[in-house]
Structure 1
């Protein structure tokens, strides 16, 4: 099966999305919430790439979304998580939930 331009763009963008997702994700969120957010981002990736490549039809949209889901997951677990980049971004952009210890001057 030959990949379409929209699918290739969805995959290329999906490789770069885990750090962007990490900006929004919070360490205190459950794995299910983080996974749901990733699926929403992948859906946006698939919809956008299909639309901007003039391939906004049912099958093309679904394949772009599925391509984005797979590539985001693989890229996160093989590149961004082991390197510590995505978890570092997530920790750095966390809002609250940090232990408040005594401050020394």
Structure 2
């Protein structure tokens, strides 16, 4: 089965979303809060890509949302966090002004 345009857009956008999300996420946020925020962004990505590709039905929306969750998580944990880019953005945009970026493991 070939991926639809909506699924490809959801995956592509999901790959570049982690550094954009880092502008909003604060280092002092708990892990569950960061996870909930990521799920909300993934839901928006899935809904938006399905809608703007005229593929707005139940199965397509669900597939785009789930694909976005997987791609956002994979991209963050394999590229954006280990490279230090997302943590540095979080620290630089912190409202407390004293946040240090976490060390990559």
Q: TM-score, normalised by structure 2?
A: 0.91
- Deviation sequence 1:40-79 (CA, Å, 0-9, x none): 0000000000000000000000000000000000000001
Q: 1:91 to 1:33 in 2, by over 3 A?
A: same
Pairing 1:31–2:45 present: no
Q: Which residue is equivalent to 2:73?
A: 73
Number of residue pairs the alignment of both structures matches: 99
In the alignment, the residues of structure 2 paired with residue 2 and residue 86 of structure 1 have an alpha-carbon distance, to the nearest angstrom, of 32
Higher helix share: 1
In the alignment, the residues of structure 2 paired with residue 52 and residue 97 of structure 1 have an alpha-carbon distance, to the nearest angstrom, of 38
- Deviation sequence 1:71-93 (CA, Å, 0-9, x none): 00000000100110000000000
Moved over 4 A (4+): none
Give 3-state SS (helix, strand or coil) of 2:26's partner: coil
Runs (5+) with no aligned partner, structure 2: 100-105
How far residue 26 of structure 1 moved from its aligned partner, in angstroms, is 0.5
Runs (5+) with no aligned partner, structure 1: 100-105
Q: Which residue is equivalent to 1:83?
A: 83
Q: Residues 28 and 97 of structure 1 are in contact (CA less than 8 Å); yes or no, is this contact kept in structure 2?
A: no
Question: Over the residues paired in the alignment, what is the CA RMSD in angstroms?
Answer: 1.1
Q: Which residue is equivalent to 1:93?
A: 93
